[in-house]
Amino acid sequence: MDAVKLKVSDYMTRNVYTLKPDNTVADAIELIKKTGHDSFPVLDDNMKVIGYVSAVDLLGVDPSVKISEVMSKQLYVAREFMDLRDAARVMFRTGHSKLPVVDESDRLVGIISNADVIRSQIERADPEKVEKLRATIERVHGVKTQVYTGKVEVSKLIPTQSKIYADELKGRIHEINRGLAEPIIVIKKDSRYFLMDGHHRAIAAMKLGIDRLDAYIIEVNGDVELGIEKMARKKGLNSLRDVEIIEDVPHPLVEITFRNRG
């Protein structure tokens, strides 16, 4: 499988908080309090983006003033098919932290932020990663595989790690609620699906009641017992419910970042 360029559609948020031009500054302030976001696209009745408003635009403005009077009408937007790096360049050069993503009729389909660009470089389940895993399986076990994408049932996933971190899980739940669901990576052998990448995502989906997840599926043809099968059996891992959620210890990256060095 060839590596592909990342597109805006791969990492944009599809569930977007928005404002209407007839909303007031008071409405915008309440939305900031509710969501924790500091800027919002402004849409007309046809879902077209006609403006953008940020917390800075609201400073010192009477709460009764309409959003149409304070919103910026000079817009920078992105398209789903844009190279993610190109969108990042636009944000960097214009000083914008977010870009509305619009279709050919200027209707809102999502939003891309600089945080999404950063996230795209962290723990990414991309075709190159899948290809390396596929090649390793074929080399180590002498079997043939095929790779494709599809949806897998969360309840059928067999984990291959026994612990996850509560703080990271909370982050994944937040991402999924924002419409950010990266594909997981699974190995399919017979009717079993071994989860290779995406344990926090899968358990977040389980807790949210999501039945199916997008996945890169590596299907193994052959009777050989894989190392992951032995490992899962040895650790007693039969379903996601067997994975321990560590509550009192932060994810290692968080621990390193915030450890007191004094």
pLDDT tens-place string over residues 249-260:
555 544 444 444
Q: Where are the domains of the chain?
A: 8-119, 127-258
pTM, full prediction: 0.57
Fold classification of 127-258 is: 3.90.1530
Q: Is 103 helix (H, G, I), strand (E, B) or coil?
A: coil
Calpha distance 207→167 (Å, rounded): 14
Q: What is the architecture, at CATH level 2, of domain 8-119?
A: Roll (3.10)
84-114 pLDDT, tens digit per residue, is 989 998 888 888 889 999 999 999 999 999 8
Does this chain's domain 8-119 share its CATH topology with 127-258? no
The CA-based angle 193-199-202, given to 5 degrees, is: 75
The radius of gyration computed from the CA coordinates of the chain, to the nearest angstrom, equals 22
| Strand pairing report for 163-165 and 244-246 | parallel
